[in-house]
Amino acid sequence: MEDQTKYWVGFNLVRGIGPVRLEKLLAHFGDISSAWKARSYQLAAAGLNEKLTQQMVQIRDGIDLDHLVEKIRNTGIKVYYWDHPNYPERLRLIPQSPFVIYIHGELVEEDIWGVAIVGTRRFSDYGRQITADLARVLAGYGITVVSGLARGIDGIAHQAALDAGGRTLAVLGSGIDQIYPPEHKKLAERIVNKGALISDYPPGTPPDGSNFPPRNRIISGISKIIVVIEAGKKSGALITAGYAAEQGKEVFAVPGKITSPGSKGANLLIKQGAHPLLSVQDVLDQLNMKLVSEQRTVQKTLPSDPREALLFQAVGDEPQHVDDISTLVSLPIEEVTSTLALMELKGMVRKTFGMKYVAVRDMMLDYRSKINLNKEGS
């Protein structure tokens, strides 16, 4: 079977073709290779304007994709795309997820509980201390620290996590082989050995101011929680927090002096509804570390079965009483309650007041997509 990777990389080289346009092309042509090989008039019929069609054809005719992908892989960079089994599940669920990402290092299952720590480049001693303390504690609990490798809070978060023996992921606003800022090259090497560098820009893409705001959606997208340490009113950290809110993620912000420019953004987030971070324990409580530990154990030892699949489809976004669920799926109440208890440990459902259960949305979407795929393939 032909390796589809090169076609995803090819489309990634065409500026102007993002997730929305590519999704339309896939719907029109049926698969990535057919879309890449389409003739100009076919691309126009699929909705590409003349300028974008000409640009794509020019790039397609002037590049050897097989050679390019081989060159990328020879540098140790992995390429994951929407259909790839190693594409991060949490990232897959966000609106307009990047259709291809480049990874230098390793992603592991535990990264799904990652916490993003972001903030200003012009940090205070207070900001440095909070960042380092939070990253160290998270690393001690086996929680992956996510940030953007920028100067300031980002770099401190990565460094502290590594120094504590933990994992960290850095999302770049450049090609994965173009480390910025240059003084973080050694830090980037450490991250590759105990985490990963991530980018949705093709290798060789230089750092550019316009690249950094969009990459923030990936920082929040691969994280479960986002913490803003210090941020001015126009800080990139606020963009990350905005993406997090759109993605339904929990956002924390560290309160600061109302007279401090570096705290105005964080204080504003709290005013708008972000959780105030008053101690490291606040994040641990939100993560529910006891449940995280149990989920890790159960997910490794208990495979899904038809009852879980049936119940997962039955449990909705609003709390439902266990009796109603039992009636809906036509299973004995004791069988339903025992299965739901295991599903709660797996993070698939959450028990609320009065023997009611509600689906955990991010996992629910992924699980249902797998169910649908299995149905289509059966």
Q: How far apart are CA 238 and CA 234, in angstroms?
A: 7
State the pLDDT at residue 378. Answer: 38
Instruction: Give Cα 243 to chain centroid, integer Å.
Output: 11
Contact 135, 117 (CB under 8 A): yes
Cα dihedral 222/169/7/23 (nearest 10): 20
**Domain range annotation of the chain:** 1-71, 109-287, 299-377
Contact 156, 131 (CB under 8 A): yes
* Assigned CATH topology for domain 299-377: Arc Repressor Mutant, subunit A (1.10.10)
* Fold match, 109-287 / 299-377: no
- Mean pLDDT to the nearest integer, 24-38: 94
Tens-digit pLDDT profile for residues 171-196: 999 999 999 999 999 999 999 999 99
More confident residue, 360 or 29: 29
Tens-digit pLDDT profile for residues 34-63: 999 999 999 999 989 999 999 999 999 999
State the pLDDT at residue 104. Answer: 97
Contact 261, 236 (CB under 8 A): no
Residue 73: which pLDDT band, with cuts at 50, 70 and 90? very high
State the pLDDT at residue 296. Answer: 55
Contact 120, 153 (CB under 8 A): yes
State the pLDDT at residue 371. Answer: 37
Predicted model pTM: 0.76
Structure tokens at 236: 């990139």
For residue 377, pLDDT over 80 is answered with no
State the pLDDT at residue 344. Answer: 76
Q: How far apart are CA 289 and CA 283, in angstroms?
A: 9
- Mean pLDDT to the nearest integer, 69-79: 95
What average pLDDT does the structure give for the chain? 86
The CATH superfamily holding the domain 1-71 is: 5' to 3' exonuclease, C-terminal subdomain (1.10.150.20)
For residue 263, pLDDT over 60 is answered with yes
Which of 48-57, 63-72, 93-102, 229-238 has the least mean pLDDT? 229-238
State the pLDDT at residue 334. Answer: 87
More confident residue, 251 or 290: 251
Q: How far apart are CA 189 and CA 197, in angstroms?
A: 9
The rounded percent of the chain whose pLDDT value lies above 90 is 54
Residue 74: which pLDDT band, with cuts at 50, 70 and 90? very high
For residue 275, pLDDT over 90 is answered with yes
- Mean pLDDT to the nearest integer, 17-28: 93
More confident residue, 111 or 366: 111
Contact 151, 181 (CB under 8 A): yes
State the pLDDT at residue 294. Answer: 56
- Count of CB atoms within 10 A of residue 53's CB? 20
State the pLDDT at residue 375. Answer: 39
DSSP string, 98-117: -SEEEEEE---GGGGG-EEE
Tens-digit pLDDT profile for residues 309-340: 888 888 877 778 899 999 998 899 988 888 88
Pick the CATH number of 109-287 from 3.30.465.10, 3.40.50.300, 3.40.50.450, 3.40.50.1700: 3.40.50.450
Handedness of CA 40, 46, 50, 52 (dihedral sign): negative
More confident residue, 211 or 223: 223
Handedness of CA 167, 170, 175, 179 (dihedral sign): negative
